[in-house]
Structure 1
Amino acid sequence: MAVFTSVSLDDLQEWIKQFPVGQVSAVRGISSGIENSNFFITTDSGEFVLTIFENLGFEQLPFYLKLMKHLASRGVLVPDPVSNQHGDLVTALHGKPAAIVSKLEGSSQMSPLPVHCAEVGAMLAKMHLAASDFSIRQKNLRAAEWRHATVPEVLPFLDADRQRLLKAEVHFQDALEASPLYRSLPNGPVHADLFRNNVMFDGERLTGFFDFYFAGCDTWIFDVAVTVNDWCIDLESGALDEARTLALLNAYHSVRPFTEPESLVWQAMLRAGALRFWLSRLYDFYMPREAEILTPHDPGHFERILRLRETGPVPPLPYFSA
């Protein structure tokens, strides 16, 4: 999260009246992340998160917000979007789409232990199952089409070795996605960005997932791979920590058993997850947008992870063989 569009207390005094939250008494920008403008707001009813969407349009946002409503109604721990007096979840603020959601308890666990990873794995499986009957289908906007549009933008900034790595991995993922094996993978709505800073804990108790604004329909195993590539690694090297990886995978498997096809693509999906974030960080690094508050991310982190996932050891995926 970041702040590209400034919002003052005066800006909110009239705008907030359309929501059943009372008057707003404080607003504070949130610095983490790089996509939207985010704020903590304090009202007569408590604390909420206000998001102004910088890239997503009014036509795309119902998927994300209604998905969160759907999950919350099924006991998945996610922020609950607040409707205005007309039942709208998205309204305009400073000419851009904006939404308010409830604020989760707790704080991010940035040094997770196996017990935290197990909590994440179990809730991720519960989320996938709960979302399987969600009626709106919207593709993952950071998948193949986005890759092919973004790679030419970043290639001129890379040396020959990194160009080769990027082109080869895109080719590998394209071939995989064209295969019958890939088409047999269980799929549905996914979070697609479940990093440590998008999950809240109170001690060892998971209190919620948030920031669903990269969500879309994709394979569930891709979502697991993205999550493992952040929660279960040594941050300095990018190497997988076996105890944390197995804790997350086994907890997920206990709720929604993995399939044999998923086990066959497991290492490839870890590569896909690394590629997705290496590419987006390359783009943000070389073509940054202006923001009042911005937390930059190092593209080299996911380049290291991608190289390791291509050749390094990967703990096996437990699976159910029919």
Structure 2
Amino acid sequence: MAVFTPVSLDDLTPWIKQFPLGQALALKGIASGIENSNFFLTTERGEFVLTIFENLSFEQLPFYLKLMHHLADRGVLVPAPIANDQGELIVALHGKPASIVTKLEGKSQMDPQPVHCAAVGAMLARMHLAAVDYPLQQPNLRGLDWWNETTPQVLPFLDESCAHLLRAEMHFQEAFAGCDTYRQLQRGPVHADLFRNNVMFDGERLTGFFDFYFAGCDTWLFDVAVTVNDWCIDLDTGVLDAARVRAMLDAYHAVRPFTDAEQTAWQPMLRAAALRFWLSRLYDFHLPREAEMLTPHDPGHFERILRERIATSAPELRG
């Protein structure tokens, strides 16, 4: 993520002694994303990722880190949080909450093929099922309440066409969230941000999901829609690629079958997933925060996706 809080090896020398990792040998900021300060950390015990949380509090963070631990214990490929000598997963660094997790093998697959989409779909379904008995509860902090809070903040920056689109889609989504179909959807912990750069592959082998810091309890279908809207599209137009969509949905369905209510809700949920990221990109673009390495994403990308999802019938969930 962007580096909001600079950290040096000298800063880490006394701090890292509380972890069973040996001496810190190298530290490199990760210059993608816009939420936390992330660093590749090399120690005498191996390769790790250090995160300083810029927005989440000490009280909020146990949901995310304990979820990762819960999933890893059940065979879902995620980074493992490292506890300090007091058993704590979250420790203050420069006055902010920080954590260390294991570094996954491989690299992000930025040109996914159907085989990659199938692997992601199957693992996403396993993740949803593995979290059914996760005891902590937290809403999706970028859900409908946040959309309602953020919309009036970004509307003054939009031209008439975009403002009309945003108002109309918010009206649609509020109505959809109040309908019987929505209330029938399966729910539980979701990743909520499973983009291509948050999954690692070694060739065609999926090695892990990471960056769970937008996770919360929401509908599983929303998680599927967020993932399809990134992995299964033409990046220039936002149009869904039929082969990749089919591979992902079929692989998910084979592990956790879709319900009738989810089929009915599929197109509204694809729209909801597009709206969520259009709004967050509008906010980050027009109301930016200071950061040492900060590159806001283009809001136009998810505006195109939203318009496309409104205009074009969604593919069948069950092939």
Give TM class, smaller chain.
over 0.9
The alignment covers a number of residue pairs equal to 319
**1:137 matched residue in structure 2:** 137
* Paired AA for residue 135 in structure 2: S
**2:64 matched residue in structure 1:** 64
Q: Which runs of 5+ in 2 are unaligned?
A: none
| 1:33-69 Cα distance to aligned partner (Å, 9 max, x none) | 1100000000011010000000000000000000000
CA distance in 2, matches of 1:261, 1:232: 22
CA distance in 2, matches of 1:313, 1:177: 20
**1:190 matched residue in structure 2:** 190
CA distance in 1, matches of 2:43, 2:269: 43
CA distance in 2, matches of 1:256, 1:243: 20
Matches within 5 A, 1:299-318: 299-318=299-318
Matches within 5 A, 1:36-55: 36-55=36-55
CA distance in 2, matches of 1:287, 1:18: 38
Match of 2:49, SS? strand
CA distance in 1, matches of 2:296, 2:155: 20
Deviation at 1:185, TM superposition (A): 0.3
Deviation at 1:189, TM superposition (A): 0.1
Match of 2:285, SS? helix
**2:24 matched residue in structure 1:** 24
More displaced stretch, 294-303 vs 108-117:
294-303
CA distance in 2, matches of 1:262, 1:113: 25
Match of 2:118, SS? helix
CA distance in 2, matches of 1:213, 1:260: 30
CA distance in 1, matches of 2:87, 2:183: 37
Deviation at 1:296, TM superposition (A): 2.1
CA distance in 2, matches of 1:37, 1:54: 7
Match of 2:262, SS? helix
| 1:81-109 Cα distance to aligned partner (Å, 9 max, x none) | 00111111101000000000000000000
* Paired AA for residue 143 in structure 1: G
CA distance in 1, matches of 2:138, 2:65: 12
**2:221 matched residue in structure 1:** 221
CA distance in 2, matches of 1:162, 1:242: 28
Match of 1:76, SS? coil
Match of 1:265, SS? helix
CA distance in 2, matches of 1:190, 1:312: 26
**2:287 matched residue in structure 1:** 287
* Paired AA for residue 111 in structure 2: S
| 1:248-282 Cα distance to aligned partner (Å, 9 max, x none) | 00000000000000000001100000000000000
Deviation at 1:312, TM superposition (A): 1.3
**1:237 matched residue in structure 2:** 237
CA distance in 1, matches of 2:199, 2:266: 23
CA distance in 2, matches of 1:245, 1:36: 30
CA distance in 1, matches of 2:80, 2:73: 9
* Paired AA for residue 53 in structure 1: F
* Paired AA for residue 219 in structure 2: T
* Paired AA for residue 237 in structure 1: T
Matches within 5 A, 1:84-103: 84-103=84-103
* Paired AA for residue 106 in structure 2: G
CA contact (8 A) 2:117 2:244 kept: yes
Q: Please tell me the root mean square deviation across aligned C-alpha atoms, in Å.
A: 0.7
Matches within 5 A, 1:202-281: 202-281=202-281
CA contact (8 A) 2:267 2:313 kept: no
CA distance in 1, matches of 2:153, 2:214: 21
* Paired AA for residue 93 in structure 1: L
